[in-house]
A = this chain, B = another copy of it.
């Protein structure tokens, strides 16, 4: 059961002028279930993307990066059910063949197609199933298919993740719609699980790139479910330039800020949705580390807490066993770490003050916070003014069940 994560409704997802989406059932996951998404991007659009830093990145990631460097993308092809990762030369050939068939059907060059895959690692992509289903994907291309697409890209997700927002720029309404998938193998590094965000705004390429990188740094790159960085992470931002306002450049500070904020908000909501729907999650946890010498050490402490199986199982049990948080902070590896400056809070309840157990803390106070579905663990390091926040979930029986039975 996801934590406070309502499913999106079809009507809440606004189409983006210049984006058409086709859906098909290739039979990669379950026969009859949608598992293929084709996104058609109008000419004149700008596209930015970030990809996993896992050294064993999947064939489609390698190919998408290469195609994106060569020319402006016109088609994004996404399949779920198979990651086409760890598949060697045959996997690369399969990704190329999928792009080739899309290019032929669209009468475009092969490098205008970006391939994306998500699902089981280490099995060859069923190319025949995909190429046979591609005509269905082309036939179903339409602008209001975000809802079905958000469902078709799911793997172990229990709830679809998609959202729309609108702002005004130069008197024109600008729409942003985004979707994401992800639930396990979540510890995005410079990228995310699969996420696609599109807007009809007109944005200069370098500004678009900055917007995506900044948004990702505040969202997908600040979440973890299990510490496992995927081989297939990718986040794509498309601006179709159809909203009617003039192109946003670096000098348009106000408009750029407005648009950046809404893209960051959507990214953060989608990233939080991935954690709320984390495999087996029963709690949504923010870990806020403050007063660090720099943001990097704040993240180091935060991720040590977030990846501690003992902290995560205590959160699952609603057990205010704060000794486990303290032990995680203590092993996080900060140099010249003066514990006498450290404070730790569960929400607003101080549990450690100046490195010692808080004198007026009671187990009842801790229990009250732990019984909640959403908890903030705050650590003050007392060694500077930097801070950072990450989000994670707890570790339950169901995490083990989902991942022990994943391929059965």
Q: Which residues of A contact B (CB under 8 A)?
A: 53-57, 83, 85-89, 120-122, 184-185, 187, 189, 226-231, 307-310, 313-314, 316-317, 319, 321-324, 326-332, 334, 337, 339, 352, 355-357, 395-397, 399-401, 403-408
Contacts and interface: CB of A to CB of B under 8 A. Distances in A.
Contacts of A334: 55
Contact of A397 (B85, B185, B401, B408): B401
A313 B121 contact: no
Contacts of A352: 86
Chain A interface, DSSP helix/strand/loop, else mixed: loop
5 closest A-B pairs by CB = A121-B323, A56-B330, A88-B356, A122-B323, A317-B404
Given A121-B324, A319-B404, 7 more contacts: A86-B323, A227-B307, A228-B308, A231-B323, A310-B403, A316-B404, A317-B403
Max chain B C-beta neighbours (<10 A), residue from A57, A89, A322, A397: A397
Contact of A322 (B55, B122, B357): B122
Contacts of A321: 120-122, 406-407
Copies of this chain held together in the complex = 2
Contact of A185 (B327, B396, B405): B327
Contacts of A189: 331
Contact of A327 (B229, B310, B327, B329): B229
A207 B8 CA distance: 68
Given A309-B399, A399-B309, A403-B309, A55 B323 contact: no
A326 B232 CA distance: 13
20 contacts: A55-B329, A55-B331, A55-B332, A55-B339, A56-B331, A85-B323, A120-B321, A122-B321, A184-B310, A189-B331, A227-B307, A227-B308, A228-B331, A231-B330, A307-B307, A309-B403, A313-B403, A317-B405, A319-B407, A397-B397
A85 B352 CA distance: 12
B316 A400 contact: yes
B55 A337 contact: yes
A314 B262 CA distance: 39
Given A122-B321, A228-B310, A357 B86 contact: yes
Max chain B C-beta neighbours (<10 A), residue from A122, A399, A407: A122
B408 A326 contact: no
Nearest to A225: B309
A321 to B, nearest CB: 6
Max chain B C-beta neighbours (<10 A), residue from A53, A187, A229: A229
Max chain B C-beta neighbours (<10 A), residue from A231, A313, A399: A313
